[in-house]
Amino acid sequence: MINNTSLAKIAYHTIQQGKGLAGYAHKELSTKLMELLAPEALSEKFQIDKKLFKEVRQSMSELEKIDWKEAEEGLYPKRQLFDFPFLHLLVNYPLLWLDMPSTWERRKNRKTRELPNNISQKDYPNYYLQNFHHQTDGYLSEHSANLYDIQVEILFNGTADAMRRRIISPLKSGLEDLREKDCNKLKVLDVATGTGRTLQQIRSALKDIELYGLDLSSAYLKKASHHLSNREGELVQLVQGNAENMPFKKNNFDALTCVFLLHELPRNARQNVLNECFRITRPGGTLILADSIQISDSPQFSEIMKNFYKIFHEPFYYDYINDDINYKLENAGFQEIKAESFFMTRVWKATKPK
Ligand SMILES: C[S@@+](CC[C@H](N)C(=O)[O-])C[C@H]1O[C@@H](n2cnc3c(N)ncnc32)[C@H](O)[C@@H]1O
């Protein structure tokens, strides 16, 4: 007899497969269209061979298994596995197609600094003022914020949230000790929170904490605020700021998370952000990082990583995949550094000594 748990498990895997197929179909279709309408925008074609394809499938299926297992163990509610903004994605999906010609144009002419006229450029670091992934307006408009979640889902074939959720287990274990000693509410900050997907995962997994999110883009923070206020859970405080110089006191937070930021930073800014994370984490507190896998931990996927920075405008990705993040964490002052990879994401846990 099939019980509710087995049904939910089947539903979860079926939805994941559906998202994977949808992502794959979108990429195939959009590439074909580009070949037809804007062949000059194409870079050399990347063919994934059978062996690599098998490894990718295997790694994706391991990610799904751990995602399900940790939900069963109660690390986060099972409903979180089904919390996917279908309606938002459906409404905004046509915009992605309408946006394609301008993306091709930027790829073809290697234009990487086409940003909205109404922004004050002096308010942002120079490295940020770019069309990351060739996206229209960079990170600096509502239009870009509307398309971001769909683009990430397509890029990762529907596994983006499953990869983000890998921060929950180390975050919870990092907070456990502190919770016993501290009767105040624990404070957690998500650095470079974007449209707030990670904040949403944390909020549903951890009750009774004060949750904060910081990002440089006010348009993305507005989107995060919209998504978060439409769901149950406590208020989240959103702050606009540069992660290299955050507007918080020393030792202010019990834990920090930071997902998919490091690969978008030049090397010195990467170290500055980790130093700043160290400053605002309290002694005994934890930093959890999640970002792309790197050549040293996942050499079997190095072709995929190389292809990624060739196709998308990711100016600092090559440097990132060869960087030593453990060294940078130690350099900032963190200790007890552990790291593990899940499909396309590597997760680091580091502690500020007491
Ligand atoms: C790839 S997105 C990741 C967003 C989110 N963490 C997620 O999981 O989808 C990178 C985010 O970092 C933000 N960002 C980039 N440089 C930053 C900086 N120096 N300070 C704060 N935020 C920054 C961008 O605005 C963008 O929202």
198 lines ligand 1 (CB under 6 A): yes
Domain extents for the chain? 162-296+319-351
Check whether 310 has a pLDDT greater than 80: no
Fold of domain 162-296+319-351: Rossmann fold (3.40.50)
Give exposure, 189-211, as e/b (b: 16+ Cβ within 10 Å).
Answer: bbbbbbbbbbbbbbbbbbeebbb
Confidence of residue 45 (pLDDT cuts 50, 70, 90): low
254 neighbors 282 (Cβ within 8 angstroms)? yes
Hey, which of 164, 242, 264 would you mutate to test ligand 1's pocket, going by the most ligand atoms within 8 Å of its Cβ?
264
Amino acid 46: pLDDT: 65
Ligand 1: which atom is nearest the Cα of residue 263? 1
Distance CA 159, CA 162 (A): 5
Question: What is the number of the ligand 1 atom nearest to the C-alpha of 148?
Answer: 9
Least confident of 175-189, 222-236, 251-265, 290-304: 175-189
Work out which ligand 1 atom sits closest to the CA atom of 139. Answer: 25
Residues in contact with 127: Cβ distance below 8 Å, sequence separation at least 6, in sequence order:
265, 266, 269, 315, 316
Condensed to tens digits (0 to 9), the pLDDT of residues 145-178 reads 999 999 999 889 999 999 999 999 999 999 997 8
Check if 224 has its Cβ closer than 6 Å to any atom of ligand 1: no
Pocket probe mutation, ligand 1, options 134, 216, 258, max atoms within 8 Å of Cβ: 216
Report pLDDT for 182: 67
Please state, in angstroms and rounded to a whole number, the distance separating the CA atoms of residues 109 and 127: 20
Query: pLDDT per residue over 225-248, tens digit each?
Result: 999 998 878 889 999 999 999 999
Beta bridge partners of 347: 290, 340
- What distance in angstroms lies between residue 214's CA and the mean position of ligand 1's atoms? 9
Give the confidence band of 292 by pLDDT, cuts at 50, 70, 90: very high
Give yes or no for residue 160 CB within 6 A of ligand 1.
Answer: no
CA 261 – ligand 1 centroid, Å:
5
